[in-house]
Amino acid sequence: MRSMTGYGRGEVANDDVRVVVDVRTVNHKGLDIKVRLPRESAQHELQVIRLVQASVQRGRIDVSCEAEVRGAARAAIDVDGVTAFVGEVRRLAGQLGALPGITEGDVLRAALQLRRTAPVVDDSAALLLDAVAQALAAVEESRTREGAALHRVLGERLASIARLAVELATRARGAPPRAGDRLRA
C-alpha cells in the first residue's frame, strides 16, 4: 500500500552547476503535473514531464527546480555592453543638447540589464533529469513509508472493529429473550 502524498528531493552537481529538484505529490483524480524550471532549462520541460509520467500514474505532482551556477560559469557583467550603453546615452544626450548626469546607480542598473547570462552547460539536461529521477525515487520511498504507516493504522482499526462486532454479536444473542421478558413484565 502506498500513500498518494509524498515528497522527494534530488540534487546533482558538477564543477559549473548545482541542480536541486523538489517533487511533491498529493491525491488527485487524474494525473496533474506542474513543472517549474529556470528559464535556462525551459526546453527540458517535456523530458521532465515524461520522466514523471513514467514514475507516477495518478495525483497532483509539483516539480520545482533550482539551478545554481558556480565558479567560472557564474554570470558576469558585460563590461563592453555597459560601456557601449553609457556611450550611446552620452551620444543621444549630445544630439538632444542635454548633458545627463550618469550616476554609479545608472551604470549598475545598465550592468544588471546587460549582464551576461550563464552559459548553457553541455550536460545540463542530464543533470536536471538525474536530479528529477533522484527526487522521484525519494517520493516513492516517502509514499511507501507513509503507506506502510497507514496500513498499520487501518489494520489496527479494522481489528478493533472486528472485536467490537464479536462483542455486539455476543450481546445480541440474549437480547430478544430479554426484550420479550421486559414486554411481558
| CA distances to 156, 166, 172 from 160, in Å | 6, 10, 18
pLDDT in tens, 122-153: 567 888 999 999 999 999 999 999 999 999 99
Cα 90 to Cα 86: distance, rounded to the nearest angstrom: 6
pLDDT in tens, 151-184: 999 999 999 999 999 998 888 887 788 888 888 8
pLDDT at 60: 95
Q: Who's near 71: CB < 8 A, 6+ residues apart?
A: 15, 16
What percent of the residues of the chain are helix, what percent strand, and what percent coil, each to the nearest 5?
60, 20, 25
Cα 7 to Cα 137: distance, rounded to the nearest angstrom: 10
pTM of the model: 0.64
Contact indicator for 10, 24 with CB cutoff of 8 Å: no
